Chain A
């Protein structure tokens, strides 16, 4: 595992190298860690989520938003392991990624910790329900 992974989990980091989705679904491996490329179908992992400890989702460019949907699909299906955003991940994107269910980050370029903390604390109440525990505004309004 690279040194600059930001983790928002209490469990032990999973150190096993991730295998490709193709290799994983072909059943050639007992790996507990899979890497999803941006265009991979996260749904292919759903039958196996109970035995996965780490899913790494690749962001080849910060503009490529497919990984946000991959994350939500996995979390909505009940995946509870580590979900890592890796690649061109910028500080301004991490709050949205957290909301989609990512709980670990391996950005290509270093992230300023203080700025990230500010960024994460900035919007206390979101408008919509997502894959995190934040309570949407409409729920606060109506209970």
Chain B
């Protein structure tokens, strides 16, 4: 149960987005990918679920080579996607469906029924939806509302509940706190930590939030100009002399509480 990138290259037009990227995420690990905007962080996540294909290199999810599946091995790609749950930068909810139906969507698929090895009844679906909604600290009263009737922060939480509903083996978060107020940011960060630890799923989080990364990550990966600058534990990151890493850490120091230390 691991995700492996081996010498991955990706280019959009003249711009090299991923340049010889190689790393491994072990089972149950929380990996934070940090870096400035436009350095290939979100692109890295989209390669894992096969939304993007690399120009060269190999991406493996649980021994399945995702990088060679695009367009030719749809069933296998579906299997990989079944294992992954992704929280996108935007909530990406389906506007025409209620919040209940949005969360339940992944539970009505053929693949989920096959995974459960039995018929998934409406009662079971309702239980799972309520369970996941509670997990993201939301009230069941919103279930019959449409996405546009709730705030952006609530939409983000609903998006997490939808991602968690089919119980994926991997959780991928693409800047989950972008566009949120400080209180929601802190609450979402706690939620990610709680979910990753409680459900013991392997998580990859793309973020700019160094403070959160230092608090909850097992590994932190810095991307710059498409290249891996550093991949290390939070303790090693704090000792790093790489200028970009130091810049990130300087900005973060001011945000950390005075008595903060690595847990």
Q: Do A and B come from one complex?
A: no
